[in-house]
Amino acid sequence: MGHYILNVNGAQLSVDAPGEESLLFVLRNHLDLTGTKYGCGEGQCGACTVILNGRAIRSCLIPVSAAANLKIETIEGLERDGHLNSVQQAFLEEGAMQCGYCTSGMIMNATSLLRHSPHPTDEQILTAMNGNICRCGTYPRILAAIRRAEQSGEAA
């Protein structure tokens, strides 16, 4: 059991957990941040995507000990002063979800993409989003939402 300080969505939170526990488990079960989803638990689906020090990562693969003191962003932290971020807003406007299980991971990955590459080509979008699985097959609307966010001209 270790004691860790996690910087989540701008807040410093202390957690007691085994160091090898996944960041995903700690976010969901210790910190009650359940917007990040458990899909496969093996790095294969992207449902658990969060942004760690500016990069989209699979939180099911990261031990909490490796995330201590780094900047963690989850879906709960994207809204600012009552305003959704551009990707969240675009997903809503395009209706880019069915069951919604993949959605927070999709939004986190797309947010990271647009921060690094504000005007990606279709190929860049497909490459970046390739590992995020949607079992409902809403890919066309997800791509449309990312395009809409990109064209909104706002920083993700």
CB 83 within 8 A of CB 22: no
Nearer to ligand FES, 60 or 78 (CB): 60
CB 133 within 8 A of CB 58: no
In whole angstroms, the minimum distance from the beta carbon of 101 to ligand FES comes to 5
In whole angstroms, the minimum distance from the beta carbon of 147 to ligand FES comes to 18
Binding site for ligand FES (CB under 6 A): 38-41, 43-48, 58, 60, 97-102, 134-136, 138
List all residues 6 or more positions away from 126 whose beta carbon is below 8 Å from its beta carbon. 143
In whole angstroms, the minimum distance from the beta carbon of 94 to ligand FES comes to 12
Whole-angstrom distance, CA of residue 50 vs CA of residue 26: 13
Whole-angstrom distance, CA of residue 108 vs CA of residue 128: 11
Whole-angstrom distance, CA of residue 48 vs CA of residue 37: 5
Nearer to ligand FES, 9 or 138 (CB): 138
In whole angstroms, the minimum distance from the beta carbon of 91 to ligand FES comes to 10
Element (H, E) at 3: strand 2-8
In whole angstroms, the minimum distance from the beta carbon of 153 to ligand FES comes to 27
Nearer to ligand FES, 1 or 44 (CB): 44
Query: Three-state DSSP class for 18?
Result: coil
Nearer to ligand FES, 47 or 129 (CB): 47
Nearer to ligand FES, 11 or 99 (CB): 99
